[in-house]
Chain A
């Protein structure tokens, strides 16, 4: 079990669908992250929210739209995805506890785009 909860665990969607991934943490963390991981590759940073404001966008296509409604919740809205977007999407959180606060990861949502 992890302290970062991601739902759903698995998602299959068509290229014309709109869906959302959800992430929740109750550790009082103030920074939340989205990573994308393709098979046999390391996680790639997508977005960072700090104190509910988007602080980093790693040039992610606009078909991925993040949202941070409050400090405990992080969403990733998906629209018009491509098959190559199929991947494991990981959420993480950390802080404030100092500049060395480690990331805590959820177990991810495995997304398949058909």
Chain B
């Protein structure tokens, strides 16, 4: 059911930008892309979402390619507390209520 693919792991130096890619080549025209992260033993935390325009909030930026087949989550200045598993999710549009998680990227921020 997952409609996204992500690299299993990435490292990033503290203070540098972390760029996390996601492929969603089968996305439909009205399906949103969401990003969540999960720190060990906690529930997933919402980060950001978008449809076709780039989005920015206090946590991150989301860049969606023009063909919408991939996106990148950018954490502009990674800190040690950003070490987590990051999930890219496409919300299935038929009912609007199906959020299927991909396998996620384990990001390690290195001091």
Contacts and interface: CB of A to CB of B under 8 A. Distances in A.
Interface of A: 2, 4, 31, 33, 42-45, 48, 50, 55-56, 88, 90, 92, 99-100, 102-108, 110
Nearest to B96: A99
Contact of B34 (A31, A88, A102): A102
Contacts of B51: 100
Interface stretch (B17-25, B64-72, B76-84, B100-108): B100-108
Chief secondary structure at chain B's binding surface: loop
B103 to A, nearest CB: 6
B80 to A, nearest CB: 21
The interface size bin for chain B is 20 to 34
B49 A50 contact: no
Interface of B: 1-2, 30, 32, 34, 36, 41-46, 49, 51, 87, 91, 93, 95-104
A5 to B, nearest CB: 11
Contacts of A55: 95, 97
